[in-house]
Chain A
């Protein structure tokens, strides 16, 4: 059974940094695209980033480009999202998801950006 488990969410001040992790199990992690998707309070789902199976190509939403970096360690079945220069509007539950379409999702980790 496929499992995705996110961690690393926290309360952080504006301008701060945070790294999220997502551990996958129940599938061959290194053969799938992986994504980060977020949902801010009262808003719809928003795609954040995608990384190819071997980590060779990464794409980002305009709203996070230049501030967020996604990476992966296929040996550890782990996906990462490094977030810098955080803003109040980055407050959201962050989900990792597998594939295209987004076939499997974790339960999310909450990031709150506030002073």
Chain B
């Protein structure tokens, strides 16, 4: 089955850059989407199709992919960015949607 690997946690100081990775064997050929979820709130689509930013998402958030690793970058981190960040792909071989285990970002 398709497995997406993310670091469980990350700490970053305000104003610095956070880089969250998502690794998967077939990720190079699949579109990766990223979601942010704060406690008690609904998830929010941050980045779609590897690097597209939906309307209303700040430019501080960006996505990229190289080989079997996708990366979410948060520039100029703010206290309000403290949240869980999850990557997600659709696996065409099984017609399943797969999420990474999520990365909790702590703003110091």
Chain A, range 63-91, C-beta contacts under 8 Å to B? none
Instruction: Check: B90 CB closer than 8 A to any chain A CB.
Output: yes
- From known contacts A101-B48, A102-B35, infer whether A45 and B90 are also in contact, taking CB-CB under 8 Å: no
Name the interface size band of chain B.
20 to 34
Scoring A47, A100, A102 by chain B CB atoms within 10 A of each residue's CB, the highest score goes to A102
Binds A, one of B13-21, B67-75, B97-105: B97-105
Question: By the criterion CB–CB under 8 Å, are A95 and B97 in contact?
Answer: no
- From known contacts A100-B90, A102-B33, A103-B54, infer whether A47 and B99 are also in contact, taking CB-CB under 8 Å: yes
Question: By the criterion CB–CB under 8 Å, are B102 and A44 in contact?
Answer: yes
Question: By the criterion CB–CB under 8 Å, are B35 and A45 in contact?
Answer: yes
Q: How far is the CA of A95 from the CA of B44 in the complex (A)?
A: 12
Residue of B nearest to A108 (CB): B42
Question: By the criterion CB–CB under 8 Å, are A102 and B43 in contact?
Answer: yes
Q: How far is the CA of A45 from the CA of B83 in the complex (A)?
A: 13
Number of A residues contacting the other chain (C-beta, 8 Å)? 22
Chain A residues with Cβ below 8 Å from B31 are 101
Question: By the criterion CB–CB under 8 Å, are A47 and B98 in contact?
Answer: yes
Chain A residues with Cβ below 8 Å from B102 are 44-45
- From known contacts A45-B35, A102-B35, A102-B88, infer whether A95 and B42 are also in contact, taking CB-CB under 8 Å: yes
Question: By the criterion CB–CB under 8 Å, are A105 and B42 in contact?
Answer: yes
Q: How far is the CA of A44 from the CA of B96 in the complex (A)?
A: 16
Chain A residues with Cβ below 8 Å from B86 are 44-45
Residue of A nearest to B48 (CB): A101
Contact of A103 among B37, B45, B100 (CB under 8 A): B45
Chain A residues with Cβ below 8 Å from B48 are 101, 103
Chain B residues with Cβ below 8 Å from A43 are 101
Instruction: Check: A25 CB closer than 8 A to any chain B CB.
Output: no
Chain B, range 10-54, C-beta contacts under 8 Å to A? 31, 33, 35, 37, 41-45, 48-49, 54
Q: How far is the CA of A65 from the CA of B45 in the complex (A)?
A: 26
Apart from A47-B96, A61-B96, what 4 extra A-B contacts exist at CB < 8 Å?
A44-B99, A44-B101, A50-B97, A103-B45
